[in-house]
Amino acid sequence: MIDKLRKLNPDIPIFSIHDDEFKRYGRVLDFDTSEIVKCGEGIEIPQNGVRYEMSIPQFEKLNCAPKLRDVIFGKCPAQIGLCWGQNSMLNAFEFHRCSEINIAVTPIVVMLGLQYEIENNRYDTKNVKAFYLKKGEIIEMYATTLHYCACQVSDEGFSCVIGLPEGTNDEIALPDEDKLLFMTNKWLICHEECEELIKKGAFGGMHGINYEIKYKA
């Protein structure tokens, strides 16, 4: 699949999460994801748009949930949610003051950047790199890693479990002094062409190509 994606997307570098290139952005975790992936597969993927739920009750009750919270987040209160639907575009980047856990319920591509590449609330998409995750693979993305919605690699859509400290992505009153703070523990910079996010209060400081991950000719 990754070779196919590279041929279809020559304008953006695509790596495996097992390549050395990924080490700047995060690490691959040794964790049995079979239980949570099976549970995630039972949640139907929308045919249009993208959904995100901070906390999915079915996930929180799984046998693996305490280990996921205790081992990966050092016993800090954590939430296990889901992002799923139809998406192929970059559109934006977000970052947190903490790591984020991603578990691929379906094969996915994540487009990533680095926080220091943002200068004066501007980000050039020429720095973006893409990484492919097989179904069941789990990664930790560091706090300095820019990321956003995963991209699908089939007509089925995509589904990705999201692990974060409790309260992350809660709604807040947007402050005037920090143009990128968008939600609790969530800083967001969107592409200047992404009118939908700008209307919601996101700062359109991303310029360059708004990359699309193509998965079929």
User: Could you give the domains of the chain?
Assistant: 2-207 (2.60.120.10)
pLDDT in tens, 77-98: 999 999 999 999 999 999 999 9
- 200 pLDDT band, cuts 50/70/90, is very high
The fraction of the chain above a pLDDT of 90, given in percent, is 92
pLDDT in tens, 130-166: 999 999 999 999 999 999 999 999 999 999 999 999 9
Q: How far apart are CA 141 and CA 157, in angstroms?
A: 22
Q: What pLDDT does 174 receive?
A: 81
CB-count exposure of residue 197 (10 Å: 0-12, 13-18, 19+): buried
74 pLDDT more than 90: no
Task: For residue 123, give every residue at least 6 positions away whose Cβ sits within 8 Å of its Cβ, in sequence order, or none.
Answer: 93, 113, 117, 146, 189, 205, 206, 207
Q: What pLDDT does 88 receive?
A: 98
66: alpha, beta or left, given left = phi > 0 and alpha = psi -120 to 50?
Answer: alpha
Q: What pLDDT does 202 receive?
A: 95
| Amino acid symbol at 9 | N
